[in-house]
Chains A and B, each alone.
Chain A
Amino acid sequence: MEKVLDLARANSLWPMTFGLACCAIEMMSASMARFDIARFGAEVFRPSPRQSDLMIVSGTVTKKMAPVLITLYEQMPAPKWVIAMGNCAISGGPFVFEGQYNVIEGVDLLVPVDVYVPGCPPRPEALLEGLMKLEEKITGKRRFPGPEERW
C-alpha cells in the first residue's frame, strides 16, 4: 500500500513557490513551456507551504532569512522533501569568504536536504534531473534510464 502511495507522491510533487535569488529565475524557466516541469507532474507551484510537499531552496539563505525558512519548512505537512538548488543553497557558494557575516553556509545546516543540484545557477535541465533523483529516492526506482556513464 505504501508503495502505491509513494508512486503517487513521486509523480505529483507540489513544490512551494519559494524563489530566493538568481536560481529562482531558472526555476521559473523550468516550469515554463520549453522545459515544462509539468511532464513530471511537478508543475503545481503553491504559494503556501501548507499545500506543498517539496521545498526547492533556490538561492542564498542569509541569517535574516534562516528563521523564516525553518518556519516554512515546519509548516509543510509530512511527507516532505527539500531540494537545495544552486551552490549558495548547498554550501554558501561564491559568498563564502573569510570574515563573512551574513550567509548560511549550506541550507542543510537548517533543514534536512534530499537532493543537491549544483550550478551557479543550475540549468533547468539540472533541476529536472534533481527532480528525477528525488523521485528515485521516493519510489526506489528511476523513471527513465539515466544518462550514460561516460567517465
Chain B
Amino acid sequence: MVGKIKTELGAALGNIEIGEVNYRERGYHLCCEVDSGEIVKVARFFDERGFYLAAEICVDYKEYLELVYIFGNHAALCRVKVALKVDPAKPVVPTISTVFDCAYWYEREIREFFGVTFEGHPNMTYLFLHEGIDYYPLRKGQVQVSAEDKKSLGSFQPEGAEDTFCINLGPQHPSTHGVLRVVLKMDGEYIEEAEPVLGYLHRMHEKMAENRGYLQFHANTGRMDYLGAMAFNLGYVTAVERMCGIAVPDRANYVRVIATELNRLSSHLMWLGAYLADLGALTPFLYVFDDREQINDILEPVTGSRLTYAYFRFGGLYNDVDEAFVAATKAFVERMKSRFVLYEKLVTGNVIFINRTRGIGVITKERARKQAVSGPVLRAAGIAMDMRKTEPCAAYGAMDFDVPVGTRGDALDIYHVRIKEMENAVRIIEQALAGLPEGPVMAEKVPKKLKPPKGDIYHTVETPRGELGIYIVSDESDTPYRMKWRVPSFSNLMVFPELAKGNLLADTVAILGALDLVIPEIDR
C-alpha cells in the first residue's frame, strides 16, 4: 500500500520529492512538501483513493508557518504527512473544505489560533475563542489580530428568516453533557440547520503544553477527557516513549491494558446511563453508577484518584498493582458479565428505546470518511477500524478481541457497538489478568527531564470515543515545541449538523447523545 501510494503520488505531483520515513519513530510512512497552489490537487488525490483527513495542524516555526495535513486510511495502515510552508506576513492558503468536509472545522480552528486565512472557506467566524481576544494565542510571538481580521472573524450571529427561527440548545442544557451550544434554525418542529458553537470550556491545553515540561503536562491529559482519562494518559506516555525510545517492562504494559480497559468500561457505562437519561429512561443511570463505583473502587487504591487519572509514567507505572487489585478485578469481571444480561433485559429490547433510536442519525460510510469520524460511531457505520488492532500499543497486540461493526449506522447501531465493545473490554481484561507477568513496572534510568530528539511524531491510540492523535514537535528542549491533540469528539461532532438536518427537535437529543461527546476534549 505504502509503495503504491508513493509511486502514484509521485506521478501525480511531478518533480516533488516524497520521503519515506521510519514509521516506528514517526507514526507516519510518507512525507512530502508541496506548494500552496497544489494542496487542493493533493487532497483530491487522497480523496479518490479512499483516504480520510485525520488532522490539519499548524506549527509556527517563527520564520515560516507550516501547515501539516495527516491523511490516513481505514482499510490499511498507511499514513501520509503533507506539509505546506506559509509566509507568516501574509498567510493565505486555499481551502480543502470543498474536498474533505471535516477541513471546514479544522481550518476554522487554525484561523483563530494562528491567523491563517483559507481562501474560499465559506464561514470564518470564531469557533473557540471569544471576541475579546486580541492576539493569535498559539503563534510564538504575540501577533496582534488586525482590525480587519477581527471584523471578518466576529462572533457567530444566528439569524432567522421569515419562516424560520433560531433556538439555542445549550450552553447550559442537561442533554449536551457539558457546555456545548448548538444553534438550531428551526422550521416549525423540524431542523433546517444546526450550528455548533464551541469554546465554552477552552482550557488552553495546547498552549500550556508549550510552557511546561513533558512530565508536568501529564496531569493535563487526564483533564482533557475526564471520562476516558486512562486512554489519554496512555496515548501521551506512549507517544513520548516512542519519541525517546524508552522500552517499557511487560508487566507495566499488561497493567496499562487492564487499567485502560477498566476505564473504557466506566466511560461506556457513563454514556449508557446519560444517553438513556436523555431519552427519558432514568433507571439505568442508577444501575450504571453502581458499576462505575465498583470500577472506581478498584482503580482508586492503585492510581490515587477517582476520575482524572495520571497513573502511567514515562517508562512504566506510578504504582505497582497488588494481589487485592487482581482479586477485585476478577470479581468485578464476573459481576459485569451478569450485568450485561441485566442491561439486555432493561434496555436492548425496550420498544420505546428502539423506536427512538432506529433509523435516527444514519451515518453512511462515505460521510463517515469525509468527516473523519472515528471510534464506535465509525464502526457503527460499518467500517471496522480500531487503533488497538491496527496500531497496537502497550500489550494490545497480544490480546484477542473482536471489532464489532454495525450495518445501518444509526443511533441504535451505535448503542449495540458500544455494548459489544464493553463485552470485549471484559474479555481483554480477563486475558490480561491471566497473562499478567511478574517483574518490574518501571523502566530503569528514565531521566526526570526528558529531551526527545528533534523531529515530530503523530501517534494514535483508541480512546472510548475514537481515534486520538497526538502530534508533538520537539526541538530537543525539555518542553514540547508544539503539541496538537487530534481529539475524537471534535471530529465526531462535525457530523452532527449534517445528521440533524430535517430531523425533529426531539431527535437531535438522540443523535447528539449517541455521539458521546465530552466537551472539554472538544474545546481542549
Contacts and interface: CB of A to CB of B under 8 A. Distances in A.
Same complex origin of A and B = yes
A60 B172 contact: no
Nearest to A24: B178
A128 B165 CA distance: 42
B293 A47 contact: no
- Majority secondary structure, B binding face: loop
B308 A18 contact: no
B307 A94 contact: no
A53 interface: no
A23 to B, nearest CB: 9
A28 to B, nearest CB: 7
Nearest to B212: A97
A14 B9 CA distance: 62
Contacts of B420: none
Given A32-B289, A97-B208, A21 B174 contact: no
Contact of A33 (B133, B174, B289): B289
Contact of A94 (B219, B292, B306): B219
Given A22-B223, A63-B132, A33 B200 contact: no
B335 interface: no
A102 B172 contact: no
B446 interface: no
A149 interface: no
A98 interface: yes
B520 interface: yes
Contact of B174 (A17, A101, A103): A17
A69 to B, nearest CB: 8
B199 A62 contact: yes
Q: Which of B137, B201, B211, B285 has the most C-beta atoms of chain A within 10 angstroms of its own C-beta?
A: B201
Nearest to A31: B289
B146 to A, nearest CB: 18
Interface in A29-87: 29, 32-34, 47, 59-60, 62-65, 68, 72
Contacts of A68: 171-172, 200
B289 A100 contact: no
Contacts of B270: 25
A103 B204 CA distance: 9
Nearest to B219: A94
Given A62-B201, A102-B204, A20 B132 contact: no
A62 B203 contact: yes
B149 interface: no
B307 A121 contact: yes
A59 B519 CA distance: 12
B520 A22 contact: yes
A95 to B, nearest CB: 5
A26 interface: yes
A120 interface: yes
A123 interface: yes
Contacts of A64: 129-130, 199-200, 202
Interface string B132-157: 11000100000000000000000000
Nearest to A22: B226
Given A25-B270, A32-B286, A68-B171, A95 B203 contact: yes
Nearest to B178: A19
A103 to B, nearest CB: 6
A97 B361 CA distance: 41
Contacts of B400: none
Interface in B247-304: 270, 285-286, 289-290, 292-293
A34 B211 contact: no
B132 A94 contact: no
B174 A47 contact: yes
A9 to B, nearest CB: 23
A73 B407 CA distance: 46
Contacts of A62: 130, 199-203
B204 A100 contact: yes
Contact of B179 (A20, A29, A98): A20
A76 B204 CA distance: 30
Contacts of A103: 203-204
Interface in A112-127: 120-121, 123
Contacts of B374: none
A94 B245 CA distance: 29
A19 to B, nearest CB: 6
Contact of A21 (B201, B286, B292): B201
B97 interface: no
A147 interface: no
A147 B504 CA distance: 52
A102 B134 CA distance: 12
Nearest to A59: B201
Given A28-B289, A60-B201, A64-B199, A99 B211 contact: yes
Contact of B172 (A21, A25, A72, A121): A72
Contacts of B339: none
Chain A to chain B: the 8 pairs with minimum beta-carbon distance, closest first: A22-B226, A32-B289, A64-B130, A65-B200, A47-B174, A17-B174, A95-B203, A63-B130
Interface of A: 17-22, 24-26, 28-29, 32-34, 47, 59-60, 62-65, 68, 72, 94-95, 97-103, 120-121, 123
24 contacts: A19-B177, A20-B178, A20-B179, A21-B223, A22-B308, A24-B178, A25-B307, A26-B306, A33-B286, A33-B289, A34-B293, A47-B174, A59-B201, A60-B203, A62-B202, A64-B130, A64-B200, A68-B172, A94-B219, A100-B204, A102-B129, A103-B203, A103-B204, A121-B307
